[in-house]
Amino acid sequence: MKTLLHILCIGIFFQAQAQTDTTNTLKSDKTTFIDTIEEEELIESALGLKRDKNAISTAYTVVESEDLVHANTSNIIESLSGKVSGLQIVTKRDGLKAYLRGGTRSLYGKNEALIVVDGIVTDGNFLKAINPNSVKSVNVIKGANGAALYGKDGGNGVLVITTKGSFKKKNTVPKSINKLKLYKGSLKVKTHKNKASYMKIYASAKSAQDAYEIFLDQKETQEKNPAYYADVFSYFIAWNAKDQTKAVLNNILQLEPNNVELLKAMAFQLEAVKEYDLAGSVYLNILKLRPKDSQSFRDLGLIYAETNKPQLSFDLLNSNLYDDLDEALSSSASNEIISMQQISRKEVNHLLQNNTVMNTEKLEESQIENAKYDLRIVLDWNRASADLDLQVIDPLLEICFYGYPKTQIGGALTLDVKDTYGPEEYTLRNAKKGDYYIKINYDNAVDKKEVPTFLKITTFKNYGKSNEEKAVKVIRLNKNRGDDILAKITV
């Protein structure tokens, strides 16, 4: 099996195309403020610093207030349309995006231009609230040289917006973009209990062996019901009876060897109880069934990291970092592809931080980043047809979701993904102490005899640090639609 796996990885590596990373942490430009030059000869640059026009070696365009107002539009991004060559405005599921021709255009991170308002990095969703009349000027920095001012995050170009009302305090957000998305509902964590009628008979079992005998008796009558297998396997996992669990697993693999949704549900639960070898066997079967699915490579790669196989783990995870950019962006699944690159890159770098002796010649230098976070939450699920949205409520009660993917305290959510098994991810580099609630909104049409939707919620405190804490929680959804708080993590 290892030989087959090795060949799969090699095939991907030969097709890899080097790309430039654009997701490293924003780097401050520490150029000293030049206050001796006349105001009209200065333009707003990195983090609000004013730079001499002649000192900036990259292409730039300055759009003044009167040109923006003349456009008579409702937001500043739309006002720029047609006024800067190479600027494209796109409305996507997660809001307005600005793209500048000549950027590095990496598949692995954000491809849109970096947007800075009075020194604070923001996005198109915030800009919808800014009236063009309140803007003094917009400096559009084109080309990869934007990275010289902002690090790699500026590689796709930068829009530096200066409002007429400057900050009164350093790092204060203007009122126009300081409208927090506050959660106003209940913060009670919901318990999901399995109410399937076929599980009632197991209440009579006084031991795991008794339960296994019931399983053998019912196996024929439930032969064409994969939902039954998923629920029974969960039942034996809860018993913590390894022998019976393995026996049930072997039976199910014989009866439903090609049911990816069922295999994933079982692998999640094995992972949650740290039965990594068994989980790895199941994930390997999934990889054979879905060899073109990047999630298959990621799942198995993460298990290999847990079973002290860092090189195999690296090979699988690193293979997710390379793809054809133009093909990805033209695809309806572009969010899914880009999100997978962002998440896999963190996991590759996490692996590098914990394993110094590995062959990393297939890793582009541009993929290396700081993968240390106070809080990291990842959501995976077993049904590609389920539409699930990860949401996180922080101690300020600000809610981070696909329409509001960046919070004031620094929380960040990956792109909303659909028609896939996930993942979606929330990260926070410097966490405020308090409770964080993990919430999902879901549309989950499942027939009674189909495999139920199982969620795997993986949480990390101090991700990538010496005191890292990891927890895996698996939840079975009972309803077809819902809006539930599923877990709480305290930092």
pLDDT in tens, 96-147: 677 776 544 444 446 777 877 766 777 666 666 666 777 788 887 776 556 6
Lowest-pLDDT range of 121-130, 242-251, 269-278? 121-130
Distance between CA atoms of residues 116 and 150, nearest Å: 10
Q: What is the mean pLDDT of residues 383-412?
A: 93
pLDDT of 248 over the 90 cut: yes
Confidence of residue 22 (pLDDT cuts 50, 70, 90): very low
Residue that has been written with the tokens 């077809």 in this structure = 480
Note the pLDDT of residue 146: 60
* Continuous segment of H or E residues that includes residue 210: helix 208-218
Q: Can you give the three-state secondary structure of 229-258, one letter per residue?
A: HHHHHHHHHHHCCHHHHHHHHHHHHHHCCC
Note the pLDDT of residue 251: 92
Residue that has been written with the tokens 């390997």 in this structure = 284
pLDDT of 50 over the 50 cut: no
pLDDT in tens, 66-110: 777 665 565 666 676 667 777 776 766 666 677 776 544 444 446
Structure tokens at 439: 């919430």
Whole-number percent of the chain with pLDDT over 90? 44
pLDDT of 239 over the 60 cut: yes
Note the pLDDT of residue 223: 83
Distance between CA atoms of residues 366 and 387, nearest Å: 32
Query: Do 400 and 406 touch, CB atoms closer than 8 A?
Result: yes
**Is 162 or 358 the better-scoring residue by pLDDT?**
358
**Phi, psi torsion values for 392, nearest 5 degrees:** -135, 130
Distance between CA atoms of residues 350 and 348, nearest Å: 5
Instruction: Tell me what percent of the chain is helix, strand and coil, each rounded to the nearest 5.
Output: 35, 20, 40
pLDDT of 60 over the 70 cut: no
Helix (H, G, I), strand (E, B) or coil at 176: helix
Distance between CA atoms of residues 357 and 32, nearest Å: 41
Q: How far is CA 61 from CA 44, 193, 297, 337, in A?
A: 11, 59, 43, 32
Show me where the domains of the chain are located. 39-177
Determine the angle formed by the axes of helices 260-272 and 276-289, rounding to 10 degrees. Answer: 160
Note the pLDDT of residue 273: 96
How high does pLDDT run on average in the chain? 78
Q: Provide the phi-psi class of 151: left if phi over 0, else alpha when psi is between -120 and 50, else beta.
A: left
Determine the angle formed by the axes of helices 276-289 and 2-15, rounding to 10 degrees. Answer: 50
Note the pLDDT of residue 445: 83
User: Which CATH number fits the domain 39-177, given the four candidates 2.60.40.10, 2.170.130.10, 1.10.3720.10, 3.30.70.3000?
Assistant: 2.170.130.10
Distance between CA atoms of residues 181 and 413, nearest Å: 14
Q: Does the predicted model carry a pTM greater than 0.75?
A: no
**Phi, psi torsion values for 380, nearest 5 degrees:** -125, 155
- Under 8 Å CB-to-CB from 442, ≥6 apart: which residues? 386, 387, 388, 389, 453, 477, 481, 482, 483
Burial of 454 (0-12, 13-18, 19+ CB in 10 A): buried
Confidence of residue 9 (pLDDT cuts 50, 70, 90): very low
Structure tokens at 307: 């079973």
Distance between CA atoms of residues 60 and 58, nearest Å: 6
Lowest-pLDDT range of 206-210, 232-236, 240-244, 295-299? 240-244
Query: Do 294 and 320 touch, CB atoms closer than 8 A?
Result: yes
